[in-house]
């Protein structure tokens, strides 16, 4: 887990940078603020190490000349086109019933945003302090967006390890309609049937790979399935289309598309 990180900003955003410094410090990350003259593409290329930056558009993760944030505003076009009929995830998660839903593998929150837009009440769980702070900033900025403000009211962020959170919910005998799992980095052998030619990884995922290394830190999701089944009437797992089943467990039902599929596990004793 990243415990120290540099944060670049210009003088006019220094107060905002200090806010993020305090927030991240409370979450165990030591931040070193560096005020620079101009935060632009050239500066980022000349400073390729993993860092944070703050500008008029909020908090960003940057490295290798790139920067990214969970840009929920950029998802508005997709949300406006989405419907319960057109989105496979809507059928898999039964979003027409406006379920209570735990997204235990937050990522950039784009799936949660879509599911909330289509009616779900979403609890978004993320354990990494930097990624959680990026999500929190996106959530805050979305509250000021005319279109997104009503959507993000249905998203509740929880800073927690998903394993710990699901265990605590089970201990409280909590029951939710859906637990959604989308492990960010499936094990390499889970893609062994996939075509050799892979699409170039998007910038966002490149930077997340730097922040969240596959080896050692990342929970690949297998242990979450059993925990999710203890509290979810339905557990939905997003997988690459040809990947093996999560934890080797065959689902009760599948929805498959060109690039991915959704495996659903129904807890019959919990389903009314």
Q: Are 233 and 177 in contact (CB under 8 A)?
A: yes
Residue 164 known to bind ligand: no
Residue 173: CA atoms inside 13 Å, Cβ hemisphere, count? 0
122's torsion region: left (phi>0), alpha (psi -120 to 50) or beta?
Answer: beta
Q: Is 127 annotated as a binding residue?
A: yes
DSSP 75-135: GHHHHHH--TTT-HHHHHTTGGG--EEEESS-TTSHHHHHHHHTT-EEEEEE--HHHHHHH
Distance of CA 186 to the CA centre of its chain: 15
Residue 189 known to bind ligand: no
Annotated binding site, which residues? 126-127, 182
Annotated binding site for S-adenosyl-L-methionine, which residues? 126-127, 182
């Amino acid at each position: 887990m990243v415990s120290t990180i540099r944060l670049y900003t210009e003088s006019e955003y220094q107060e905002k940078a200090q806010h993020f410094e305090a927030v991240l410090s409370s979450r165990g990350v030591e931040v070193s603020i560096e005020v620079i003259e101009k935060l632009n593409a050239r500066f980022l290329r000349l400073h390729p190490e993993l860092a944070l930056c703050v500008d008029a558009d909020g908090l960003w993760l940057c490295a290798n000349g790139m920067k990214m944030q969970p840009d929920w505003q950029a998802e508005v076009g997709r949300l406006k086109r989405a419907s319960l009929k057109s989105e496979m995830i809507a059928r898999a998660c039964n979003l027409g019933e406006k379920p209570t839903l735990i997204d235990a593998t937050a990522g950039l929150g784009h799936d949660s945003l879509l599911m909330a837009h289509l009616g779900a009440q979403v609890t978004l769980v993320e354990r990494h302090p930097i990624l959680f702070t990026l999500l929190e900033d996106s959530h805050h900025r979305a509250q000021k967006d005319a279109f997104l403000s009503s959507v993000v009211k249905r998203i509740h962020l929880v800073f927690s390890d998903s394993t710990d959170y699901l265990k605590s919910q089970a201990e409280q005998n909590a029951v939710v309609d859906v637990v959604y799992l989308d492990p960010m980095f499936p094990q390499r052998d889970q893609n062994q049937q996939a075509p050799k030619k892979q699409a170039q990884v998007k910038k966002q995922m490149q930077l997340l790979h730097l922040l969240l290394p596959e080896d050692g830190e990342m929970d690949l999701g297998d242990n979450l399935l059993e925990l999710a089944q203890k509290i979810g009437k339905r557990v939905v797992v997003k997988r690459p289309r040809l990947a093996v089943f999560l934890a080797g467990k065959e689902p009760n039902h599948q929805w498959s598309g060109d690039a991915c599929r959704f495996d659903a596990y129904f807890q019959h004793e919990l389903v009314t």
